[in-house]
Amino acid sequence: MLDVLLGAVIVASGVISVIASSSSASASSPPITGTVTRGTVQATESTSGTVVAAATYSLGFPTAGTVSAIDVSVGQQVVQGEVLAAIGATAAQSALTVAQDNLTSARDRLTQDEQGGTSPAQGSAGSPSTGGGNTTLGNPATIAADEAVVVADEQMVDAAQQELSDTTLVAPANGTITAIEGQVGETVGSGGNSAATKSSGGAAIASGSIAGGGGARSAVASGSSAGASSGGFMTLADLSQLDVTCAVAQANIGVIRQGQSATVSLNAFPGHELAATVARVAQVGSTTGGVVTFPVTLTLSHPTSAVRPGMSATVAIVTASVNDVLAVPSSAVHGTGRVGTVTVRSAEGVDSPVTVVIGLAGTSTTAVYGDLAVGETVVLPSVSIAPPVIGAITRKAARTLGGGLGGHGGGAGKLGRRG
pLDDT score, position 292: 95
Classify residue 123 as left (phi > 0), alpha (psi -120 to 50) or beta: left
pLDDT score, position 198: 57
pLDDT score, position 105: 93
pLDDT score, position 192: 40
pLDDT score, position 166: 83
Cα separation, 332 vs 218, whole angstroms: 59
pLDDT score, position 363: 86
* Per-residue pLDDT tens listing for the chain (419 residues): 434 433 443 344 444 343 344 444 444 455 689 999 999 999 999 999 999 998 899 998 888 888 999 999 999 999 999 999 998 877 878 888 998 999 999 999 999 988 876 544 444 444 444 344 444 567 888 999 989 999 999 999 998 888 888 888 999 999 999 999 888 988 887 654 334 555 665 444 333 333 334 333 333 323 333 333 335 889 999 898 899 999 999 999 999 999 999 999 999 999 899 999 999 999 999 999 999 999 999 999 988 889 999 999 999 999 999 999 999 999 999 988 899 999 999 999 999 999 999 999 998 999 999 999 999 999 998 754 444 444 433 333 333 333 443 343 343 333 233 33
Its pTM surpasses 0.85 = no
